[in-house]
């Protein structure tokens, strides 16, 4: 039997599956699906954003902070980068890094809206 190569459409299927898992609260399943997507498209803004959202919902705020240390992967999609920066600020606050959180929020509020 001949195996078929991975198709870009397969990523869309995985994206739909990860999103479905997220929406029904199956965050561990969503994370596993997103990790598989990272094999084929590491540092994809949508994938990284969903991972951060899953970790946030699981209360794994330290993982969100770790994941959002470098948001350069969002340069092509500034709206995702801005949303992740605000999520980072929220998670910094949750783990007791209040001053970093406040500083980041001040910085974000001083930026012009990219839209």
Domain ranges of the chain: 8-110
Mean pLDDT of the chain: 91
Supply the CATH classification number for the domain 8-110: 1.25.40.10
- Taking 70 as the threshold, does the pLDDT of residue 115 lie above it? no
Alpha-carbon span 95 to 72, nearest angstrom:
23
Residue 111 pLDDT class (50, 70, 90 cuts) = confident
pLDDT confidence of residue 112: 66
Q: Give residue-wise pLDDT tens across range 56-93.
A: 999 999 999 999 999 999 988 999 999 999 999 999 99
Long-range contacts of 21-28 (CB under 8 A, 24+ apart): 22/50, 22/53, 22/54, 22/57, 25/57, 27/54, 27/57, 27/58, 28/58
């Amino acid at each position: 039997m001949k195996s078929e190569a991975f198709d870009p459409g397969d990523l869309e299927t995985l994206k739909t599956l990860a999103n479905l898992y997220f929406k029904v609260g199956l965050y561990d399943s969503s994370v596993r699906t997103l990790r598989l997507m990272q094999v084929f498209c590491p540092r994809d803004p949508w994938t990284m954003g969903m991972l951060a959202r899953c970790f946030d919902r699981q209360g794994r705020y330290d993982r969100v902070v770790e994941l959002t240390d470098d948001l350069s992967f969002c340069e092509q999609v500034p709206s995702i980068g801005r949303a992740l920066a605000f999520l980072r600020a929220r998670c910094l606050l949750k783990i007791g890094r209040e001053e970093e959180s406040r500083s980041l929020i001040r910085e974000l509020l001083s930026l012009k809206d990219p839209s």
